[in-house]
Homo-oligomer: A and B are copies of this chain.
């Protein structure tokens, strides 16, 4: 994506001071920018960079009054943050959305699949019978959508995503590469001879609107009924969500978290990386969990922070761990005391 200062000014309703033909292809922090980058400045603390930046174009507020000579082309806009957000989104879209929607001739789409207006389907994607996709979606190359998968509007499925039969994904969702939605839950009944008998997993996965799911993350279908991911949930990479789990609105999980079967995670929770939640328990609304912690029983009180494996209240863990580190000394002191008493 190469754009000139003139084009940016037109897009953002800004005015140029400098070269209207200055050309940029990448957003960058003001202190790191080089020629060909555009940067922004709206925090007075960073004003000195405005005079030294090597960015080819610098977004500044309409009221910025330089106190030193400016070497770059200035683009003055009414609201730097808003203009920047717009630019970054357009930059990302230009690189991930096809320039115009099209259905690749190299895809494999069942005649009974339905595809909305403005939706793209990439090369080597597979859409099975009964798939229904809304408008303005991007089904990237190498995606697999099983029978009767339903997808809302404006949702992006990145390359290699697999979604299995009957699962539903809402609108404005982003699912990153190689994520797997609706694989069988891990359900096995122990047999008397020590072997396991597979319990058929015939439920589904329901994903709300505005949900983002990280690369290589797995969300299993329920044994029966639904695994539910509510609106606004944000999941990082390599997360495991087992069968029958429910994740409440706006809950965010960092990478490599694992949630065991039928656990119910409340809304507005924040789970640190590599944390684990046991099966069949509930986490209250707003629960915060430190990275690598493990929760083995239900948390009923809302908005509390936990730490450790098994997790205990955050402050308790921190205080206990301080003593843990001194345990050899503690043990020695106890021996001294015992000796003193003995004598």
Contacts and interface: CB of A to CB of B under 8 A. Distances in A.
A67 interface: no
Task: Give the number of copies in the complex.
Answer: 3
A195 to B, nearest CB: 5
Q: What secondary structure prevails in chain A residues at the interface with B?
A: loop
A198 B252 CA distance: 12
A24 interface: no
> Which 8 residue pairs across A and B have the least CB separation, nearest first?
A88-B200, A323-B327, A108-B123, A95-B165, A240-B255, A180-B215, A144-B159, A183-B215
Contact of A28 (B147, B225, B237, B309): B225
Tier of interface size on chain A = 35 or more
Interface string A263-307: 000011000011010100000000000011010100000000000
A63 interface: no
B196 A88 contact: no
A38 to B, nearest CB: 11
A165 B296 CA distance: 41
Contact of A220 (B194, B237, B250): B237
A294 B204 CA distance: 33
A53 interface: no
B124 A142 contact: yes
A242 interface: yes
Interface stretch (A13-21, A111-119, A170-178): A170-178
Nearest to A232: B195
Contact of A142 (B142, B212, B218, B255): B142
Interface string A117-142: 00000111010000000000000111
Contacts of A146: 95-96
